[in-house]
C-alpha cells in the first residue's frame, strides 16, 4: 500500500511540474500582451503633456508637440510654432487606439526583420509632465489578403515594440503614416471660418479699387445699388471657408501696405479680415488672417486672391 501511495504522489508531482511548465512557457506572453493593451488604452489623453517622435525616413529629425496651458507648441529643429489643437488631439486619439492583435516575436533575433530596432523604426515617446508613459517603436508594415471572405480589399498591418521590451506585436493599419515629417501638418490652416454666422457687411479693396455691400432686411445693396441677393450669398458661401498650407515662417510685413483687403461683418458685430501683401515674384502675396494671427501664408499660386476677387458689377441686380 505504501508503494502504491508513492506512485500516486509521484504522479501528482509530475502533473504539477507539467502544469508549472505550461504556465511558464505560455502564460507570460499572454500576460504581457494583456498588460501592453492596458498600458495604451488606460492612458488619459487629457493628461498627456508631450509627444515626441523621430523617423528613420526623416533622417531621425525630432518633432515635439508640447502642451502649454490650453495650447500646443510644435517644434522641429530651430522652428517653433503654435500647433492646431484639433490636429494634435487627432494624433493622440490615433495613438490611443493602438491595439496589438497578435505576438510575432519574443526576442531580439527578429527585431531587424520587423524593423523595430532603435535605428530602423519610428520612435514615439509620450509624457505626462516629466514622466514617460509610453515609449514605442513602430516598425515595418505589411499588406495581407483580407480575412473577410466578402471583402477583396487587402488589409494593412504594422509591427510595434515597446522600447524596453523584447516582444514584437502586430497592429492594424499603416501606423507610421500618422507621424508626419513636417510640423506644418500640425499648424492651423484656417484663413476664414465663418461657421453659421450671418454676414451683414462686406468691404473689399484691390489695387485701390473695391466696393462696399450691406445687408438689411435680407436685402443686399452694393455701394447703394441693388444687388442680386442670391449671387451675393453664393459668393459669401464660397469665401466663408478658406484655408492654406503654404506657411511663411519669417517675414516682416508690419510696414507694408496691404494690396488687397477683405472685411466681413456679422449680425453679432464680429469682424473677419483677410489681407494680402505684395511679396516677390515667387510667393506673389503674403496673406494674413484675423482668425489665425499666429500664422502667415503665401499665395504663390494666387488661389486665395482668385477665391475672394470678384467683379462688383457681376453681383448687381439686373435692371428691368
12-18 long-range CB contacts below 8 Å, 24 or more apart?
A: none
Residue among 244, 241, 250, 243 at smallest CA distance from 81:
250
In this prediction, residue 2 carries a pLDDT of 45
Positive/negative CA dihedral, 91, 95, 101, 103: positive
pTM here? 0.75
- Please answer whether residues 34 and 20 qualify as being in contact, where contact means their C-beta atoms are separated by less than 8 angstroms: no
- Please answer whether residues 172 and 162 qualify as being in contact, where contact means their C-beta atoms are separated by less than 8 angstroms: no
Report the DSSP pairing between strands 199-206 and 190-193.
unpaired
CB-based burial, 167-189: b 16+ in 10 Å, e otherwise: bbbbbeeebbebbeeebbbbbbb
The stretches in the chain having pLDDT less than 70 are 1-42, 58, 60, 146, 148-151, 319-320
In this prediction, residue 31 carries a pLDDT of 46
Query: 36: helix, coil or strand?
Result: helix
- Please answer whether residues 125 and 53 qualify as being in contact, where contact means their C-beta atoms are separated by less than 8 angstroms: yes
Helices of type H across 42-178 = 85-96
Cα–Cα dist 66/286, whole Å: 28
The residues spanned by each domain of the chain are 30-186, 190-315
* Span 195-230, pLDDT tens digits: 889 999 999 999 878 999 999 999 999 999 999 999
In this prediction, residue 40 carries a pLDDT of 57
**Can you read off the three cell numbers belonging to residue 231?**
449671387
In this prediction, residue 213 carries a pLDDT of 95
- Please answer whether residues 215 and 202 qualify as being in contact, where contact means their C-beta atoms are separated by less than 8 angstroms: no
Amino acid at each position: 500500500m505504501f508503494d502504491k501511495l508513492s506512485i500516486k504522489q509521484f504522479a501528482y508531482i509530475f502533473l504539477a511540474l507539467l502544469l508549472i511548465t505550461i504556465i511558464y512557457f505560455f502564460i507570460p506572453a499572454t500576460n504581457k500582451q494583456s498588460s501592453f493593451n492596458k498600458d495604451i488604452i488606460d492612458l488619459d489623453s487629457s493628461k498627456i503633456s508631450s509627444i515626441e517622435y523621430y523617423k528613420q525616413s526623416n533622417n531621425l529629425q525630432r518633432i515635439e508637440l508640447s502642451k502649454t496651458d490650453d495650447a500646443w507648441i510644435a517644434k522641429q529643429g530651430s522652428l517653433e510654432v503654435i500647433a492646431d489643437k484639433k490636429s494634435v488631439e487627432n494624433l493622440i486619439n490615433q495613438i490611443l487606439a493602438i491595439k496589438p492583435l497578435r505576438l510575432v516575436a519574443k526576442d531580439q533575433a527578429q527585431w531587424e526583420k520587423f524593423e523595430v530596432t532603435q535605428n530602423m523604426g519610428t520612435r514615439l515617446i509620450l509624457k505626462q509632465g516629466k514622466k514617460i508613459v509610453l515609449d514605442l517603436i513602430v516598425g515595418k508594415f505589411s499588406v495581407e489578403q483580407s480575412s473577410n471572405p466578402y471583402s477583396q480589399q487587402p488589409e494593412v498591418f504594422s509591427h510595434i515594440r515597446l522600447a524596453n521590451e523584447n516582444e514584437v506585436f502586430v497592429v492594424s493599419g499603416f501606423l507610421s503614416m500618422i507621424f508626419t515629417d513636417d510640423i506644418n501638418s500640425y499648424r492651423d490652416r484656417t484663413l476664414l471660418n465663418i461657421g453659421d454666422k450671418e454676414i451683414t457687411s462686406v468691404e473689399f479693396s484691390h489695387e485701390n479699387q473695391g466696393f462696399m455691400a450691406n445687408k438689411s432686411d435680407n436685402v443686399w445693396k452694393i455701394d447703394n445699388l441693388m444687388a442680386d441677393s442670391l449671387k451675393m450669398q453664393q459668393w459669401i458661401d464660397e469665401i466663408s471657408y478658406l484655408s492654406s498650407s503654404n506657411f511663411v515662417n519669417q517675414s516682416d510685413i508690419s510696414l507694408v501696405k496691404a494690396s488687397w483687403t477683405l472685411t466681413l461683418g456679422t449680425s453679432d458685430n464680429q469682424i473677419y479680415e483677410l489681407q494680402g501683401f505684395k511679396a516677390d515674384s515667387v510667393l506673389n502675396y503674403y496673406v494674413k488672417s484675423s482668425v489665425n494671427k499666429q500664422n502667415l501664408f503665401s499665395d504663390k499660386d494666387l488661389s486665395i486672391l482668385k477665391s475672394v476677387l470678384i467683379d462688383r458689377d457681376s453681383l448687381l441686380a439686373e435692371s428691368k
